[in-house]
Amino acid sequence: MESINIGLAGLGTVAQGFLEIVGQKKRVLSDKLGRELKIAKVASRSQKVDLEEFGAVFSTELSSLVEDPAIDVVIELIGGEKDALGLISAALKKNKHVVTANKEVIAKHGNSFRGEIDSGQLRFEAAVAGAIPILQGIGVGMVANDFSSITGIVNGTSNYILSNMSIEAASFEESLKQAQKLGFAEADPGFDVDGIDAAHKLTILMALAYGQPFSFDKVVTEGISHITSSDIQYASELGFAIKPVAVVRRSEDTLAAMVYPALVGFDRILSRVNGVMNAVEVESDYAGRLFFSGPGAGSLATASAVVSDLGLIARNQGSVYPSLMGTEKLGVTYPDQSTSCCYLRFDVVDEKGIFARITGALSDSGISIDEVFQKNRDGGRASIVMITHPAREKDLEDCLSNVGKFGELLQPIQRIRVLS
């Protein structure tokens, strides 16, 4: 049986999961793919695992994978940006196939690979939503469809934190510490809790679904660190869960892409995606609404997606995702003209007339209220909580800027969008 020679870069968590799968399923995979998967060489800073069963040569030089003419496929699992970018670029220029799980490199530098791809393939299923085959689903399974929107929970760390805040009635800080203790969050969690990781993934989904160049710099991001346990409680009383969502919507010839915490109604499946699970909801013209869900991270889950890309290369199914071709030119705009319902919380000194002043200011700006209640606290404090009817982003921002100057306010106004 003909073999496909693999050069593996990295020996971290996902790489070790990949070795485990190939070691356990080598015969099954060979039978399914019609080619033997042979790990010929591994490059990493140090040899963390025993490679004897694979008969692989070990090197500390990443360039050795590119320069070896016997290597057919380079699998990049080193993470980070600079070294990974250099390795992927060099491998493509040598006409080698490349499989990567590196969402940052694809989101920020994917456009540059267009001129470097000749006979090699570049695949990155594992870069988005772990084990969920969302890129194949959108790029191949739904190729006949136009997409009106894509909505996802694509960062397991943020989802775990907000889920834990809800289930345990814990604060953001307490839930973050728990996520770090369990290995779900890094020591520096900024990429996750500030929405950057999810923005990388949304950039890839947007490029693939809409035939766009990669536009990471056009994705608006908002983190979750300002969400409080009180917000979780009040949202629940109103019939919502707070979830970290990544959303791209098409309106005629423009796209609006955002990553933000949102109130999601309990009647939507997305509201019940908890812990480190991921989910993606796709709205399309022919297939309608489809929902994908599964583990978004983890050694074996992510490695499973790496193996799926390797399988497509072994079967020689297609040359490259169409997103790299930039087939359609749509504007990606800041969604200040879009409309949405919003959750608002005003923490105020409980004085006569403050409720009327706030609601009057909203009314003067053309913003109407759907639901509202007041929670009185000790010490003459109160929280006024409301859900607005749909309002333009810009109108609401201008109104809240003015209300924020009221002397009765004890802290900045909390605003959380409601997912439509």
| Separation CA 213–CA 192 (nearest Å) | 24
Kindly state whether residues 123 and 140 are assigned to the same domain: no
Kindly state whether residues 120 and 147 are assigned to the same domain: no
Kindly state whether residues 143 and 235 are assigned to the same domain: yes
Q: What is the mean pLDDT of residues 94-100?
A: 94
Quick one: pLDDT at residue 6?
97
Quick one: pLDDT at residue 316?
79
- Judged against a pLDDT cut of 70, whether residue 327 lies above it is answered with no
Q: What is the mean pLDDT of residues 41-47?
A: 93
Kindly state whether residues 56 and 175 are assigned to the same domain: no
**Is 28 within a domain?**
yes
Q: What is the mean pLDDT of residues 113-123?
A: 82
CATH number at residue 386: 3.30.70.260
CATH number at residue 271: 3.30.360.10
Quick one: pLDDT at residue 155?
96
Q: Are 176 and 113 in contact (CB under 8 A)?
A: no
Q: What is the mean pLDDT of residues 197-207?
A: 96
pLDDT tens per residue, range 400-412: 999 999 989 999 9
Tokens of 147: 């997409």
**Is 103 within a domain?**
yes
Residue range(s) defining the domain that contains residue 16: 3-127
| Separation CA 235–CA 386 (nearest Å) | 10
Kindly state whether residues 158 and 243 are assigned to the same domain: yes
Kindly state whether residues 239 and 360 are assigned to the same domain: no
Q: What is the mean pLDDT of residues 130-151?
A: 94
Close Cβ partners of 297 (under 8 Å, ≥ 6 residues apart)? 130, 156, 184, 276, 278
- Position 89 confidence tier, pLDDT thresholds 50, 70, 90: very high
Q: Are 154 and 246 in contact (CB under 8 A)?
A: yes
- Position 336 confidence tier, pLDDT thresholds 50, 70, 90: low
Kindly state whether residues 68 and 99 are assigned to the same domain: yes
Final residue before a domain boundary, out of 127, 156, 190: 127
Neighbour count for residue 405 (Cβ, 10 Å): 7
**Is 320 within a domain?**
no
Quick one: pLDDT at residue 323?
45
Q: What is the mean pLDDT of residues 328-341?
A: 72
Q: Are 368 and 387 in contact (CB under 8 A)?
A: no
Kindly state whether residues 115 and 20 are assigned to the same domain: yes
Kindly state whether residues 142 and 265 are assigned to the same domain: yes
Q: How many domains does the chain have?
A: 3
Q: What pTM did the predictor assign?
A: 0.93
Quick one: pLDDT at residue 322?
46
- Judged against a pLDDT cut of 60, whether residue 320 lies above it is answered with no
Q: What is the mean pLDDT of residues 71-97?
A: 95
Tokens of 140: 């191949």
Kindly state whether residues 192 and 248 are assigned to the same domain: yes
- Distances from the Cα of 351 to the Cα of 88, 354, 376, angstroms: 62, 6, 11
Q: What is the mean pLDDT of residues 249-264?
A: 92
- Position 317 confidence tier, pLDDT thresholds 50, 70, 90: low
Final residue before a domain boundary, out of 313, 335, 357: 335
Kindly state whether residues 85 and 219 are assigned to the same domain: no
Per-residue DSSP letter, 409:
B
Final residue before a domain boundary, out of 72, 100, 127: 127
Quick one: pLDDT at residue 65?
97
Kindly state whether residues 214 and 270 are assigned to the same domain: yes
Quick one: pLDDT at residue 328?
57
- What are the residue numbers of the active site? 201
Q: In whole numbers, what is the pLDDT of the chain averaged over residues?
A: 92
Tokens of 396: 């609401």
- Judged against a pLDDT cut of 80, whether residue 84 lies above it is answered with yes
% of the chain with per-residue pLDDT over 70: 95
